[in-house]
Amino acid sequence: MNYEITGKTKLTGLLGSPVAHSISPQMHNEAFRQLGLDYVYLAFDVTPEHLESAILGLKAIGIYGFNLTMPLKVHIIPLLDELTPAARLANAVNTVIIKDGVLIGHNTDGIGYMHSVIDAGHDIIGKKMTLLGAGGAATAICVQAALDGVSAIDMFKRKNASWDDTLTFCRKITAETGCPIRLRDISDQNALAESISDSAILTNATSVGMAPDTEKSPISDVSMLRKDLIVSDIIYNPKETLLLKQAKEAGCPHFNGLYMLLYQGAAAFTFWTGQEMPIQLIKEKYFKH
């Protein structure tokens, strides 16, 4: 079809910083084209200090819905009217749905991640996960993995000012899901090695290794990476982080964050439009490695 912006085009988009590398605009706009929907999806570089004014402006001009990426997934919460259970448990929002002027925060990151594990050919239900990071994406993954039936999760983060809040989060999710979640210090390499040794999957949900700092890895000792360990990195720029290169050299099955992005985006797309994203077509066009 001949796709044009009209006076009735509905605006959706992505807020975060940086966002220039994101393939979300291509993915959503192609899906709109394929389904003949009069929507457009744009990327807006917004930092935390400008988030409130950005939200006020977008709400005033009638944006239809939007996504949040780093570093805004937690900063957005006080600016919203409601949270869905997934967003409340994760204490992070990556998708905002707007109904009658009410801003509803949701989280599709965990769903997207667990779909990406299946897409990569793995079954981690009933098995242990080592999860690096405790930001918005990490908490969403932790919640969904626990809900889906992962047997245990060790969450590693820096021992900084947010440690106690993260400890409270881990206890809450353990109580609500029955999945034991331990918080551990990411600087403790012995604890990390011990955790990885009996985990089925190692998941990097930190920004370590993301462009432009592509020469960094959250794993300093590659001997931790045994051949039957699944290694995943939610980063997709670069497509192969240093961690994934280490995994490849160690003979580990591994995958990046591209399909997590695809499946979390597909869920947001359905919330906004009421239609299913043509996933196979989008995957073929934008996500083949």
- Dihedral sign of CA atoms 265, 15, 231, 197 in order: negative
Other CB atoms within 10 A of residue 52 CB: 14
Element (H, E) at 59: helix 51-60
Question: Per the residue annotation, which of 8, 73, 159, 227 is the catalytic one?
Answer: 73
Q: Residue 97 in contact with residue 272, Cβ under 8 Å?
A: yes
Contact between 158 and 232 under an 8 Å Cβ cutoff? The reply is no
Question: Per-residue DSSP letters for 208-225?
Answer: TT-TT-TT--S-S-GGG-
Buried b (16+ CB within 10 A) or exposed e, 72-97: bbbbbbebbeebbebbbbbbbbbbbb
* Token pair 């409270």: residue: 168
Please, which residues have CB within 8 angstroms of residue 137's CB and are 6 or more apart in sequence?
70, 73, 92, 94, 109, 113, 205, 234
Strand order across the 95-99 sheet:
39-45, 10-16, 65-68, 95-99, 102-106, 82-83
Tokens (6 digits) for 144:
């969904």
* 73 is annotated as an active-site residue: yes
Say if CB 16 and CB 70 are below 8 A apart.
Answer: yes
CB atoms within 10 A of CB 160: 8
- Minimal CA–CA distance to 234: which of 97, 123, 83, 129? 129
Active site residues: 73
